[in-house]
Chain A
Amino acid sequence: MSGRVLVGVKRVIDYAVKIRVKPDNSGVVTDGVKHSMNPFCEIAVEEAVKLKEKKLIKEVVAVSCGPQQAQETIRTALAMGADRGIHVEVSGKDYETLGPLHVSKILAALAKKEEAQLVILGKQAIDDDCNQTGQMTAALLDWPQGTFASEVSLEGDKIKVVREIDGGLETIKINTPAVLTADLRLNTPRYATLPNIMKAKKKKIANVKPADLGVELTSRLEVLRVDEPPQRLAGIKVETVGDLVSKLKETGKI
């Protein structure tokens, strides 16, 4: 086993920013808006670095698909402890239509190329909330998957994963190589300390194009329109239960 872990990190609009829709309803305003690493990706990086610190794996490689700025996100991963980075250059129109299927094809190709033992991703991105990339990557690689992981332990050549599911917690044991996706309670990501950021400057980021990996980026989806959610309307106060029933009938709710 190579002892190498691939971690996917996505650059998204910072969680604290108030999102605004573009006036032409074609998308969301991203220009000049603060961006940072997807919180679930941070958890994924943290888990990978923890595994390395426990000496269960040897190398953490951070991967991001996107324009030039994606390198900042990779640098943050490097500052958190990743050893090197791979920047898959996708920009312009291609970037706007980039979706989970493309990313999972890219990650699958990279996992094979880098002979990765493990691929760890965040369970979903906070901008599109797709929750698909991890699952698709596993399928393309024909690897087992441990999604919504809240606990991961390596046991020889198998992995025990505790998954957060609707009914509670499910524990599974899967073979390696495998794909994992991180859920909220998996760990608490560390701060990238300033000394580590300075050290990260010396770590390498390789540049790759999707074409080099044999992935073509035509999209099968077209975004027609983006709207803000409807404004929450004021409620009405009623005096008695009788009033409530008649009001509900009036507005056609019952």
Chain B
Amino acid sequence: MMMNANRLVVLSKYFQSGQRLLACNVRHAGKKVQQVQQQRLFRTHCRQLAYAKDLFLGLLNKDEVFPYPEVGKEEQDEINQLVAPVEKFFSEEVDSAKIDREAKIPEETLKGLKELGLFGLMVPEEYGGLGLSNTMYARLAEITSLDGSIAVTLAAHQAIGLKGILIAGTEAQKQKYLPKLASGEHIAAFCLTEPGSGSDAASIQTRATLSEDGKHYLINGSKIWISNGGMADIMTVFARTEVVVDGVKKDKISAFIVERAFGGITSGKPEDKLGIRGSNTCEVSFDNVPVPVENVIGEVGGGFKIAMNILNSGRFSMGSSSAGMIKKLITMTSEYAATRKQFNKSLSEFGMIQEKFADMALSAFAMESMAYLTAGMMDRPGLPDCSLEAAMVKVFSSERAWICVSEALQVLGGLGYTKNYPYERYLRDCRILPIFEGTNEVLRMYIALTGMQYAGKIATSKIKEMKKGNIGLAVSMIIKKAMSRTTSSVDLGLTGKDGVVHPSLKESAKKLELSVTHFGWTVETLLYRFGKTIVDEQIALKRVADVLINLYAMTAVLSRTSRSISLGLKKHDHEILLTNTFCDEAFFRNNYMLVQLQKHTPENDEANIKKIAAAVFQNRSYICSHPLDRTF
């Protein structure tokens, strides 16, 4: 079935229709240019979403993603200077096997990390940090990821732990807390998750009640899975507070800076985890912890948005850290594959092994392209909201990393399975990636729904018309449906006269344009089919998110390679090969998923999936009779 869909699209190249497919010729006119803010200030209103949302309309904002973000020469020199000592430290002073075995990062290693300055990478220089941009942070994440436990400890401290103060704190709060946090004298933690509230973060029950004299809050409740929970001095804690909105009492979440020194805080024993064992994870309980009102971050009742902003701002670095790890694995594993011989040939001569390495190279390539594209977008003035893009980077990288590590282990066979080699540790460390920082399931929903909501607004008026029985509109939709099956000269401006993609990538660019167009149309049909209940159609939304992730990945590799060719970077021929291969794969996978999203195609197996699951849940077990059972 998949073959037919792809063949149809390929064959359709030969049909000329010469017409724009999209009825909505709404060009992305007049980007609202937000006022350029010097500092990262928190905004309560919806910020300018960046690139991905318009893909839901079948539109490609090439200006957002082409050309690939550049760093200035000075910044590049700085990055190179900063990378060297960190790499050196990690290769000489970090004993990952020991950290994993003893489930602890040694004090001297932590001290070395603090002295290197790794605890305040994005804290502005005036508060004692390094004031690095997102791009530079991502670059360093490639190196810190060499040890999973250290990477998570650092990320929990600065990507989320102190981020709240950084993006939403008052000047006084920043002056008071950031310097010691930047030097590592104090360690930070992010306390949101509770036993009953994981993915459903808005349902937390920890309470903060205002004291009689209105001078402080008393926090009561307990949090779990808190990284750095056992050693953090400063915590960003989220709790419910009573607020009065328009005269009505409501329970809204607020964010607080809580010092362990305030008293009443107990940390449980460290969790015994599968991976990232050197990272401290534990329960943290709050028993009438007094927190001065000056320690509220942002507005009282505005905590949830702050939590989401914090989490959104740290995600993109998973792309570069995973890419860094995979690149290292490729080096280690290819050395083995080139020297190990079986059947009188080295492993590297066997096709199945070659495929694994190609997959690793493609994965690392796509991940880093996406990560740095997103970081570059985030570093632009005007603070574009790249939460959608960051979420996509996270989902893609976490899942691909898991597969790549598994395959690398496979290449080493039995050796890879032993503790004598680091592969099993990398595998265990990697398994957390699809789980934390927002499970991939929740993120897929976020990705799909944010875009659908946006597209829905645009399409609402048209749908209303159709449901009223506007025949003309219905007919035009049917014609559109027929024509899109024979898509041909789709032109979204990537190639040609004002093209932004290098001519040698023309084929792949065309594939992206076709996919985007097909996607936009599919989104429209989905909205029409489900309307508001689309929120409950998780299986469909999963496919939508996966298609979008592929589109973003294709965009990133095309943008990156176009730049490499134009600059004449070394080995850009190889990049062209990787880009074309990646785009081929992504294009065909998208086709299949888009076909699955149509209502009555055989590829759409949703109904059956739901039936199977329902039966299993009814019995809470596997329900078939045993194959050896008899009825006679």
Which chain A residues numbered 182 to 209 have a C-beta less than 8 Å away from chain B? 191-198, 201
Contacts of A79 in B (CB 8 A): 81, 85
- Report yes or no: B81 in contact with A72, Cβ–Cβ below 8 A: yes
Could you give 29 example pairs across A and B, Cβ below 8 Å? A32-B570, A36-B84, A72-B77, A72-B80, A75-B81, A76-B81, A191-B89, A191-B115, A191-B116, A192-B84, A192-B85, A193-B115, A193-B116, A193-B117, A194-B86, A194-B116, A194-B117, A194-B118, A194-B121, A194-B130, A195-B117, A195-B130, A196-B117, A197-B78, A197-B81, A197-B82, A198-B78, A198-B125, A201-B78
CA distance A32 to B571 in the complex (A): 11
Contacts of A75 in B (CB 8 A): 81
Which of A's residues lie within 8 Å of B, judged by CB? Answer: 32, 36, 72, 75-76, 79, 191-198, 201
CA distance A201 to B77 in the complex (A): 10
Contacts of A36 in B (CB 8 A): 84
Which of B's residues lie within 8 Å of A, judged by CB? Answer: 77-78, 80-82, 84-86, 88-89, 112, 115-118, 121, 125, 130, 570
Tell me, rounded to whole Å, the shortest Cβ–Cβ distance linking A35 to chain B.
Answer: 10
Tell me, rounded to whole Å, the shortest Cβ–Cβ distance linking B94 to chain A.
Answer: 12
Given contacts A75-B81, A194-B85, A198-B130, 18 further A-B contacts (CB under 8 A): A32-B570, A36-B84, A72-B77, A76-B84, A191-B116, A192-B85, A193-B85, A193-B115, A194-B86, A194-B116, A194-B117, A195-B117, A195-B130, A197-B78, A197-B81, A198-B78, A198-B125, A201-B78
For the A-B complex, the count of residue pairs with Cβ-Cβ distances under 8 Å equals: 41
Contacts of A32 in B (CB 8 A): 570
Contacts of B117 in A (CB 8 A): 193-196
Tell me, rounded to whole Å, the shortest Cβ–Cβ distance linking B568 to chain A.
Answer: 13
Query: Which B residue sits closest to A16, measured CB to CB?
Result: B91
Tell me, rounded to whole Å, the shortest Cβ–Cβ distance linking B592 to chain A.
Answer: 41
CA distance A201 to B81 in the complex (A): 10
Contacts of B77 in A (CB 8 A): 72
Contacts of A193 in B (CB 8 A): 85, 115-117
Ranked nearest first, the 8 interchain pairs of A and B with the lowest CB-CB distance are A194-B117, A195-B117, A192-B85, A191-B85, A193-B116, A197-B81, A193-B117, A193-B115
Query: Which A residue sits closest to B121, measured CB to CB?
Result: A194
CA distance A36 to B81 in the complex (A): 11
| Residue from B80, B81, B117, B121 whose CB has the most chain A CB atoms within 10 Å | B81
Query: Which B residue sits closest to A71, measured CB to CB?
Result: B77
Query: Which B residue sits closest to A31, measured CB to CB?
Result: B570
CA distance A75 to B78 in the complex (A): 10
CA distance A192 to B77 in the complex (A): 15
Tell me, rounded to whole Å, the shortest Cβ–Cβ distance linking A198 to chain B.
Answer: 6
Tell me, rounded to whole Å, the shortest Cβ–Cβ distance linking A85 to chain B.
Answer: 14
Tell me, rounded to whole Å, the shortest Cβ–Cβ distance linking B79 to chain A.
Answer: 11
| Residue from B80, B85, B86 whose CB has the most chain A CB atoms within 10 Å | B85
Contacts of B78 in A (CB 8 A): 197-198, 201
Query: Which B residue sits closest to A75, measured CB to CB?
Result: B81
Contacts of A196 in B (CB 8 A): 117
Tell me, rounded to whole Å, the shortest Cβ–Cβ distance linking B179 to chain A.
Answer: 12
Tell me, rounded to whole Å, the shortest Cβ–Cβ distance linking A143 to chain B.
Answer: 33
CA distance A196 to B112 in the complex (A): 14
